[in-house]
Amino acid sequence: MKILDKFYEGKAKQLYRTEDPNLVVMHYKDDTTAYNGIKKAQIANKGIINNKISTIIYKRLMALGIPTHYVDTLNERDQLCKRVTIFPLEVVVRNIIAGSMSRRLDIPEGTKPINTIYELCYKNDSLGDPLINDHHAVAVGAATYDELKVIYELTDRINNALKNIFLEVGVLLVDFKIEFGKTSDGEIVLADEISPDTARLWDVNTNRKLDKDRFRRDLGDVIDAYLDIYNRLQTLK
Ligand code: TMP
Distance (Å) from CA 99 to ligand 1 centroid: 8
pLDDT value for 124: 95
pLDDT value for 36: 83
Distance (Å) from CA 92 to ligand 1 centroid: 7
Predicted confidence (pLDDT) per residue in 57-94, tens digit? 999 999 999 999 999 999 999 999 999 999 999 999 99
Q: Is 124 in the pocket of ligand 1 (CB under 6 A)?
A: no
CA dist 200 and 131 (Å) reads: 18
Q: Is 92 in the pocket of ligand 1 (CB under 6 A)?
A: yes
Residue 187 has pLDDT above 90, yes or no: yes
Contacts of 203-207 with C-beta under 8 Å, sequence gap 24+, read 203/170, 203/171, 203/172, 204/167, 204/170, 204/171, 204/172, 205/170, 207/110, 207/172
Residue 237 has pLDDT above 90, yes or no: no
Predicted confidence (pLDDT) per residue in 11-50, tens digit? 999 999 999 999 999 999 999 999 988 999 999 999 999 9
List beta partners, residue 13. 28
Q: What is the pTM of this model?
A: 0.98
Size of the chain in residues: 237
CA dist 200 and 117 (Å) reads: 14
Q: Is 195 in the pocket of ligand 1 (CB under 6 A)?
A: no
How would you label 150-163 residue by residue, b for 16+ Cβ within 10 Å and e otherwise?
bbeebbeebbebbb
For 152-214, the DSSP string reads HHHHHHHHHHHHHHHHHTTEEEEEEEEEEEE-TT--EEEES--STTTEEEEETTT--B-STHH
Q: Report the atom number in ligand 1 closest to the C-alpha of 176.
A: 10
Distance (Å) from CA 94 to ligand 1 centroid: 10
User: Which residue of 125, 175, 214, 217 sits with most ligand 1 atoms within 8 Å of its CB, as the best mutation to test the pocket?
Assistant: 175
Position 169, amino acid: V
Among 107, 87, 111, which residue's Cα sits nearest to residue 182?
87
Going from the C-alpha of 57 to that of each of 45, 162, 181, 191, the distances in angstroms are 19, 8, 18, 12
CA dist 139 and 160 (Å) reads: 29
Residue 212 has pLDDT above 90, yes or no: yes
Predicted confidence (pLDDT) per residue in 128-182, tens digit? 999 999 999 999 999 999 999 999 999 999 999 999 999 999 999 999 999 999 9
User: Which residue of 177, 193, 216, 217 sits with most ligand 1 atoms within 8 Å of its CB, as the best mutation to test the pocket?
Assistant: 177
Number of neighbours of residue 170 by Cβ within 10 angstroms = 14
Q: Is 100 in the pocket of ligand 1 (CB under 6 A)?
A: yes
Environment class of 38 (CB within 10 Å of its CB; exposed 0-12, middle 13-18, buried 19+):
exposed
How does the average pLDDT of the chain come out, rounded?
97
Residue bearing the CA closest to ligand 1, atom 4: 100
Among 93, 115, 177, 180, which residue's Cα sits nearest to residue 144?
180
Half-sphere exposure of 211 (CA within 13 A, CB side): 24
Predicted confidence (pLDDT) per residue in 100-115, tens digit? 999 999 999 999 999 9
Residue 127 has pLDDT above 90, yes or no: yes
Question: Roughly how many angstroms between the first and final C-alpha of the chain, as a whole number?
Answer: 31
Residue 1 has pLDDT above 90, yes or no: no
